[in-house]
Amino acid sequence: MGDSLIKGRGLSPGKASSEVVVCNQLISPLGEISREGFVTTGPCENTSITGKILAFKGGRGSTVGSYTFLELKSKNIAPTGLINESAEQMVVTGAIISEIPMVDSVPLDIFSKGDKISIDGSSGEVSIFGVQEKKVATVYLVHGGKLLLLKRSEDATSFPGLYSGVSGYVENRETPKLTGERELLEECGIREASLRLIGGEIYVRSNDILYEITPMLMETKTREVKLNFENSGYTWIPLEKIKDYKTPPKFVETFESLVSQAHL
């Protein structure tokens, strides 16, 4: 099984490979990381970060916190790498002066407990060993102020029984837009739809697969849908009713972002 590759932002040069410790919290290095290399507060309280890649939301607190990492490095108990969702300068400074590779702009929910990962603090690349990455295009199709939801079959390999958009794997040499148009025809029998907006890529983890999803908002003039075998049903819903349905992770917030940007 291939390894996934995520592109974040490189902040402190160097490379590291280790188990990742994920702390879904802001951390103040001064006071919330002990001089023995343990997180002292929050969901990761009493967790050792020595020799691990520490992934957390971002930093907070005193600028003196930069030196916490330098002290840990001098005692050979520092983390081997740092990942933030959104970096704060104090943590970046601590990583640089301690020569600890660091990246940010990486969502924490792509990691699972026990994952072994590698990071490149120059390029911003993050790999999760043993996790396969699949590129997907998802179409949010609208018509007359309503959104098309497809009900996934109960035996679907991913997110069975949930309501979703029109999705498919991006094939070789295919753009996400072409994938979306192909899937509309294959899954729904819809040949004509106009592109309103393509959103930024999002990542969704499901067991040992990491989906890199390109979401797009399309509009059609037809309500007629001819389902193939991939889905068990469909419904057109008012845009504001999307939260009433069970959908895959990040589906609702992605749709709301597209609608806001397209001013629907």
Strands 132-143 vs 166-169: parallel, antiparallel or unpaired: antiparallel
Q: CA distances (Å), 167 to each of 17, 43, 188, in order?
A: 33, 35, 11
**Catalytically annotated residue among 4, 17, 18, 62:** 62
Token couple for 142: 């609208």
Q: What is the DSSP letter of 33?
A: B
CA distance 25 to 113: 16
- Classify residue 81 as exposed, middle or buried by CB count within 10 Å of its CB (0-12, 13-18, 19+): buried
**Helix or strand run (H / E) with residue 104:** strand 102-104
18 in catalytic set: no
Work out the number of other CB atoms within 10 angstroms of the CB of residue 43. Answer: 10
**Helix or strand run (H / E) with residue 18:** strand 15-27
Active site residues: 62
